[in-house]
């Protein structure tokens, strides 16, 4: 049985855990405020909030219900727009009306849910962050002006733009952002976790966040059982052990993005990962999914390749390690047995004399997959490159590690001539194809520019941009 709370209602269902949550909400429970737009995670019309007990408090995150298996709602609080409705409009709903933030209304429940999620998750409020939290919601009618004003107006309801740390939930209830039943959700979730075990989900079809799988083949998934591994808390988390950083395969992209540990070693980490999907996608998408999906343009895999990461595989008690750069055999073909799962990925903590950079070119800056992406990690000693790893996405059938380019650059001094030679070598170890994201020639040119960009950003004093061309 799958047990959870849907708005104010306790749910117990024996439907397949792989059932699409959006279909359960709309077709089983007839809660049609949650809309079906693209069914591909792009429009945000299906956004719901997912509340989960974390260290004694309920943490909410916005997710796309069109890409989420019902079984992952087990033990959680699912909030649809109906679950926010009260006798009168909430401040978020009222400001959306007053500011002309809604026209045809199709996108509006998604915006209201995402915006309410912003207030649930943040004590210190500002319009820029509120608008950023709406990054996964698309509107075809309003031109966004009214929606942005609604976000600002809702914030102005709080004195000094701040909520009270100790009484945040009560504050939101008294200001009518959320209904009074939210008050008891924590106790109700504790009761569910005491009385019910996790969903039995033994199956060879591994589903993690579902953000690739439910786009690729939701029709075949809903009639199979599915191994919902994001239920397994042992597979999630980021830790430092000796000189190594470990990231559990079920860790979400948003968890890695906001990790203080990773931000400490990579100061631009948060900025790199803000280029990955939208907040609702990052709230579900996992590291393991990005690695095993094996898309040549995966962003996390691109970063992990340049960190010379190791993949930890497990089949029952049998464990095996493999370097990520040796994991990909051909297009979507991996050195992984059918029953092996990725348990975690690990890499060495960057040394003090190291440099890292990630570059991604896509048709639009945010909410888009890469045309070409590339990451670089380097260690220098006395001006010479001692260690170097470079990845390149979108220029081969696999997420590519630029072996020959790295071999050339090792033990070299950084200067304009060396970088030009490296770019020339890289162009011979790629095999881009022409597709919707650009011609083969264009992608080859993009990679050259990204290699230049790495060095221009990291060593502007050593490379002359005029002479690179």
Ligand X SMILES: Cc1cc2nc3c(=O)[nH]c(=O)nc-3n(C[C@H](O)[C@H](O)[C@H](O)COP(=O)(O)OP(=O)(O)OC[C@H]3O[C@@H](n4cnc5c(N)ncnc54)[C@H](O)[C@@H]3O)c2cc1C
Q: Report whether 63 contacts 33 (CB < 8 A).
A: no
Closer CB to ligand FES, 331 or 366, in the complex: 366
Here the tokens at position 64 are 């796309």
By CB under 6 A, tell whether 41 contacts ligand FES: yes
Q: Closest CB to ligand FES among 140 and 234? A: 140
Q: Which is nearer to ligand X, 209 or 432 (CB)?
A: 209
Closer of 73 and 313 to ligand FES (Cβ): 73
Task: Pick one of 103, 258, 263, 421: the residue that binds ligand FES (CB under 6 A).
Answer: 103
Residue 4, beta-bridge partner list: 11
Stretches 96-104, 220-228, 344-352, 428-436: which one binds ligand FES (CB under 6 A)? 96-104
Q: Does 66 bind ligand FES (CB under 6 A)?
A: yes
Q: Please say whether the dihedral angle defined by the alpha carbons of residues 108, 112, 118 and 123, taken in this order, is positive or negative.
A: positive
32 makes contact with ligand FES (CB under 6 A): no
CB 199 within 8 A of CB 231: yes
Residue nearest to ligand X (CB): 289
100, 355, 458 from 262: Cα distances, Å: 41, 14, 19
Cα separation, 426 vs 395, whole angstroms:
10
Residues with Cβ within 8 Å of residue 454, at least 6 apart in sequence: 357, 359, 374, 376, 390
Which region among 101-109, 214-222, 414-422, 454-462 touches ligand FES (by CB under 6 A)?
Answer: 101-109
CA nearest 344: which of 238, 464, 190?
A: 238
182's CB contacts (< 8 A; 6+ apart) are: 169, 172, 173
Closest approach of ligand FES to the CB of residue 31, in Å = 15
Adjacent-strand bridge partners of 79:
49
Please say whether the beta carbons of 245 and 262 come within 8 A: yes
* The one segment of 48-56, 138-146, 264-272, 298-306 that binds ligand FES by CB under 6 A: 138-146
Q: Does 38 bind ligand FES (CB under 6 A)?
A: yes
276 binds, among ligand X, ligand FES, none (CB under 5 to 8 A by kind): ligand X
| Contact residues for ligand X, defined by CB under 6 A | 40-42, 206-213, 215, 229, 249, 276-277, 281, 284-286, 288-290, 292-293, 298-300, 341-342, 369
* Contact residues: ligand FES, CB under 6 A: 36-39, 41-46, 64, 66, 102-108, 139-142
């Amino acid at each position: 049985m799958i047990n959870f709370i849907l708005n104010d209602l306790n749910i117990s269902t024996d439907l397949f855990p792989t059932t699409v949550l959006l279909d359960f909400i709309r077709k089983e429970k007839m809660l049609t405020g949650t809309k079906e737009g693209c069914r591909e995670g792009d429009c945000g019309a299906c956004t719901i909030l997912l509340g989960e007990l974390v260290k004694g408090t309920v943490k909410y995150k916005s997710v796309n219900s069109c890409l989420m298996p019902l079984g992952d709602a087990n033990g959680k609080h699912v909030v649809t727009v109906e679950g926010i409705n009260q006798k009168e409009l909430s401040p978020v709903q009222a400001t959306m009306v007053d500011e002309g933030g809604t026209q045809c209304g199709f996108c509006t429940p998604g915006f209201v849910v995402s915006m309410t999620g912003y207030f649930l998750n943040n004590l210190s409020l500002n319009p820029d962050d509120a608008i950023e939290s709406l990054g996964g919601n698309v509107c075809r009618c309003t031109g966004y002006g009214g929606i942005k004003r609604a976000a600002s107006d809702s914030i102005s309801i709080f004195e000094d733009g701040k909520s009270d740390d100790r009484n945040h939930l009560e504050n939101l209830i008294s200001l009518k952002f959320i209904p009074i039943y939210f008050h008891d959700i924590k106790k109700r979730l504790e009761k569910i976790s005491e009385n019910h075990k996790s969903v039995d989900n033994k199956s060879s079809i591994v589903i993690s966040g579902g953000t690739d799988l439910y786009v690729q083949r939701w029709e075949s998934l809903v009639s199979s059982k599915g191994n919902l591994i994001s239920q397994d808390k042992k597979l999630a988390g980021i830790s430092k052990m000796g000189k190594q950083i470990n990231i559990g395969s079920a860790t979400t992209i948003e968890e890695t993005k906001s990790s203080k540990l990773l931000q400490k070693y990579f100061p631009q980490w948060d900025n790199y990962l803000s280029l990955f999907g939208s907040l609702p996608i990052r709230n579900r998408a996992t590291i393991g999914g990005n690695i095993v999906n094996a898309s040549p343009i995966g962003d996390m895999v691109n970063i992990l390749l340049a960190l010379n990461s190791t993949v930890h595989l497990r089949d029952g008690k049998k464990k095996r390690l493999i370097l990520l750069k040796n994991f990909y055999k051909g297009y979507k073909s991996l050195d992984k047995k059918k029953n092996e799962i990725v348990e975690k990925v690990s890499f060495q903590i960057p040394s003090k004399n190291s440099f890292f950079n990630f570059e991604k070119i896509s048709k639009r800056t945010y909410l888009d997959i890469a045309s070409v992406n590339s990451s670089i990690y380097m260690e220098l000693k006395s001006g010479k490159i001692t260690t170097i790893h470079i990845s390149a996405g979108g220029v081969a059938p696999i997420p590519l590690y630029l072996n020959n380019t790295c071999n050339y650059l090792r033990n070299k001094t950084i200067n304009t001539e060396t970088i030009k030679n490296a770019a020339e070598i890289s162009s011979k170890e790629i095999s881009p194809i022409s597709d919707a994201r650009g011609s083969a020639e264009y992608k080859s040119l993009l990679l050259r520019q990204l290699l230049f960009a790495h060095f221009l950003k990291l060593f502007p004093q050593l490379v002359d941009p005029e002479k690179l061309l």
